[in-house]
Amino acid sequence: MSDTPAGPSGHHLVAAFRDMARAAFSEKPLTESLQAVLDSFVPLLPGTRLAVTLYDPVTDRLTVSAAHSDPGAGACLQLEEGFTRWVLDHGRMAFSNTPATDDRFVRSPTAPPPAAAAAFPLHAGDRLAGTLDLCRASSPLEEGELELAEALAAMVSAALQRQRLQALAHQDTLTGIGNRRSFNLTLASEMSRATRYMRPLSLVVYDIDSFKLVNDTSGHPAGDALLRGVTAKTRSLTRRTDHIFRTGGDEFAIVLTETGPEGAAVFGERARAGLEEWLRNESGNGVVLSASFGITSFRSGDTAETLIQRADEALLEAKRAGKNRVAVK
């Protein structure tokens, strides 16, 4: 009788987890990292299909972000509204070697039920972020294989937490948009692209006129609520390709891609009018609110510093001219 264990050898385990760790903590985009983690792990579970399903609590949507199938797994994984949803509701693993008779499993109308299925919770910090889903078409999942899958779920959770921390480092915690650091990085990147491909680019900076009076008369919670509302209104006025940032206090910036001076001026006036109307309804305690805008466009020889300085000068001109207006420089 051979002394070789049925499961993966120690060497294969070490190699697989080394590759998974490299993928989980790489600087690649999240989807690429997750796919690389699964690709490294599949050889440890022959005949198994794996998928990472991410959950968006805002839309209550489930999205398969990465998947990998061993040739013997079959097309058996349709867990999103079955085991996956159960795990998200209960916060613990779901597993069955008889999923056809398990109430938690939602059968596919076009495929036979798998021989085995499991889903493990994935966490990003203290937040339940999704599930690691497994299925096997023709053989059960053994206890040791489930332990390996649980270790994989921990590795995937580490990748999700890394991505979350990276996002937080570039996100304004009050409004959810980019912070000053994110603004600097994005502006540099878009300026490089505009230079390389000779494409137009514009910068808009604006702030809320008389904002300090809101904090003084209604308190900082009211001021915070106002800034969140301004952010939401600004989002409704911009395109998906534009970038919005809170650069400090009541100061905001918008990087307008593929937009030259004329288009930026039209946008600025539209945004000013939109915010004026919205802020009018938010005014209280005798404080009349509006917004002032400074706009400039990228020119040959510009640096990020000269572009920002010119936009700030334009904003100052708008303030000096009476506020609630757009100045272009």
In this prediction, the residues of the chain whose per-residue pLDDT falls under 50 are: 1-6
Length of the chain: 329
Domains of the chain: 10-168 (3.30.450.40), 180-328 (3.30.70.270)
**pLDDT number for residue 113:** 78
Q: What is the pLDDT of residue 3?
A: 38
Instruction: State the pLDDT at residue 2.
Output: 36
pLDDT digits (tens, 9 = 90+) for 219-255: 999 999 999 999 999 999 999 899 999 999 999 999 9
d(C-alpha 203, C-alpha 255), whole Å: 5
Residue 289 to residue 286: CA distance in whole angstroms: 10
Q: What is the pLDDT of residues 189-201, one digit of tens each?
A: 999 999 999 999 9
CA distance 231 to 279: 12
**Over the chain, what HEC string results?**
CCCCCCCCCHHHHHHHHHHHHHHHCCCCCHHHHHHHHHHHHHHHCCCCEEEEEEEECCCCEEEEEEEEECCCCCCCCCCCCCHHHHHHHHCCCEEECCHHHCCCCCCCCCCCCCCEEEEEEEEECCEEEEEEEEEECCCCCCHHHHHHHHHHHHHHHHHHHHHHHHHHHCECCCCCCECHHHHHHHHHHHHHHHHHHCCCEEEEEEEEECHHHHHHHHCHHHHHHHHHHHHHHHHHHCCCCCEEEEEECCEEEEEEECCCHHHHHHHHHHHHHHHHHHHHHHCECCECCEEEEEEEECCCCCCHHHHHHHHHHHHHHHHHCCCCCEEEC
Specify the pLDDT at position 245.
Answer: 96
Per-residue model confidence (pLDDT) at position 19? 72
Cα-based distances in Å from 67 to 48, 144, 225, 226: 11, 21, 40, 42
Distance, C-alpha 259 to centroid of its chain: 25
Q: Against a cut of 0.85, is the pTM above it?
A: no
